[in-house]
């Protein structure tokens, strides 16, 4: 166990897939549980409490006039998640959120921001997730959480958990990107947010990339959140996710990157998202998420 992390840990499941184009990520939390996350973390030495799944009205309504799909359900799920994360942290516990599509990062991070106002984020993802309704080709809200957390885009999304709680663009770093929409490229350049693509990983190595990302997320902050989308991994290691992009991080690269995070920053919260067991091969992707959670939370050989 990493002695720098709160030993009291709460697992929060978010069975949300209405922010994505493919259904099935709603089954992700239970797939991760089935893969043994609680037992694994207890073996490391944590006092683990499974808080169950967030309950909300999952109603598929399609795309609205502002180019947001299933907006009401996504907002409700995230409002409840933000409140739950806030509750867990105020009770002195470390939140580990499992999902579920990546739109849930709005609720997770808003809940954390109520307790850690100066928060840094390392965003592991094949995609940028910084679209708004104006730039999104699909209207899928799992492609919009970073924009919402920066106070951009639809007010109804950025107001989740309180519009006064926002991330600072100076303390966000992306790792593993390899598929950005044109609107996302413009936004990232405009905001000056560092994006360490697979090109940088291949060229400079994961140690170099993580040193840069950790420095950005830690500079002037009181804690760091890790948002880990399993599609950052190469599909050979994580086939059970809805937006596969070839050429992702190797299994060992991902483990090393998370080991480096927990040894070098003040980790205050984490989420593993986009596990879709309907698309998986014998729960392989959920098992990878559990193993990676172990590396992040201190399951070291010596």
pLDDT tens digits, 272-297:
999 999 999 999 999 999 999 999 99
pLDDT score recorded for residue 4: 74
Catalytic residue among 68, 86, 102, 259: 102
127 classed as catalytic: yes
Catalytic residue among 101, 259, 274, 280: 274
pLDDT score recorded for residue 6: 82
Catalytic residue among 79, 229, 271, 299: 229
pLDDT of residue 49 exceeding 90: yes
Read off the pTM. 0.97
- Beta bridge partners, 267, equal 224
pLDDT of residue 226 exceeding 80: yes
Catalytic residue among 79, 101, 127, 200: 127
Handedness of CA 144, 145, 146, 148 (dihedral sign): positive
Contact 47, 88 (CB under 8 A): no
Domain boundaries, the chain: 8-296
pLDDT score recorded for residue 2: 72
pLDDT score recorded for residue 300: 78
pLDDT score recorded for residue 302: 64
Please tell me the distance from the alpha carbon of residue 24 to that of residue 22, in angstroms, as a whole number: 7
Catalytic residue among 86, 101, 184, 231: 231
125 classed as catalytic: yes
pLDDT score recorded for residue 5: 78
**Complete DSSP assignment for 48-89:** EEEEEEPP-------B-TTS-BTHHHHHHHHHHHHHHHHHHH
Question: Distance from CA of residue 108 to its chain's centroid?
Answer: 8
Average pLDDT over residues 206-221: 98
pLDDT of residue 1 exceeding 80: no
199 classed as catalytic: no
Eight-class DSSP state of 160 = T
102 classed as catalytic: yes
Catalytic residue among 76, 125, 259, 271: 125
Catalytic residue among 17, 76, 142, 225: 142
68 classed as catalytic: no
Closest CA to 89 of 161, 34, 35: 161
Average per-residue pLDDT in the chain?
97
pLDDT score recorded for residue 117: 97
Band of pLDDT at residue 10, cut at 50, 70 and 90:
very high
pLDDT digits (tens, 9 = 90+) for 66-90: 999 999 999 999 999 999 999 999 9
Band of pLDDT at residue 301, cut at 50, 70 and 90:
low
pLDDT of residue 240 exceeding 90: yes
pLDDT digits (tens, 9 = 90+) for 90-130: 999 999 999 999 999 999 999 999 999 999 999 999 999 99
pLDDT score recorded for residue 241: 98
pLDDT digits (tens, 9 = 90+) for 148-203: 999 999 999 999 999 999 999 999 999 999 999 999 999 999 999 999 999 999 99
Residues 6+ apart with CB under 8 A from 67: 133, 134, 136, 139
Topology (CATH level 3) of domain 8-296? 3.40.800
């Amino acid at each position: 166990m990493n002695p720098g992390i709160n030993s009291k840990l709460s697992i929060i499941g978010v069975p949300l897939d209405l922010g994505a184009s493919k259904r099935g990520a709603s089954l992700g939390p239970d797939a991760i549980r089935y893969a043994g996350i609680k037992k694994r973390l207890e073996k490391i030495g944590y006092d683990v409490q499974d808080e169950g799944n967030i309950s909300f009205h999952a109603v598929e309504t399609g795309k609205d006039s502002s180019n947001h799909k299933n907006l009401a359900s996504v907002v409700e799920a995230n409002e409840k998640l933000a409140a739950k994360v806030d509750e867990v942290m105020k009770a002195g516990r470390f939140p580990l959120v499992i999902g579920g599509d990546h739109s849930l990062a709005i609720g997770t991070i808003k809940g954390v921001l109520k307790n850690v106002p100066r928060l840094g984020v390392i965003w592991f993802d094949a995609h940028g997730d910084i679209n708004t309704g104006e730039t999104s080709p699909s209207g899928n809200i799992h492609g919009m959480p970073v924009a919402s957390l920066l106070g951009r885009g639809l007010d109804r999304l950025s107001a989740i958990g309180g519009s006064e709680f926002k991330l600072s663009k100076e303390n966000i770093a992306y790792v593993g990107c390899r598929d950005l929409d044109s609107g996302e490229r413009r936004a990232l350049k405009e905001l000056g947010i560092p994006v360490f693509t697979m090109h940088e990983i291949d060229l400079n190595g994961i140690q170099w990339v993580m040193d840069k990302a950790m420095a950005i997320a830690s500079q002037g902050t009181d804690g760091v959140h890790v948002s880990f989308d399993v599609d950052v991994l190469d599909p050979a290691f994580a086939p059970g996710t809805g937006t596969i992009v070839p050429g992702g991080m190797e299994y060992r690269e991902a483990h090393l990157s998370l080991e480096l995070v927990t040894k070098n920053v003040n980790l205050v919260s984490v989420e593993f998202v986009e596990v879709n067991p309907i698309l998986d091969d014998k729960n392989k992707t959920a098992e990878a998420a559990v193993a990676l959670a172990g590396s992040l939370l201190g399951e070291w050989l010596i």
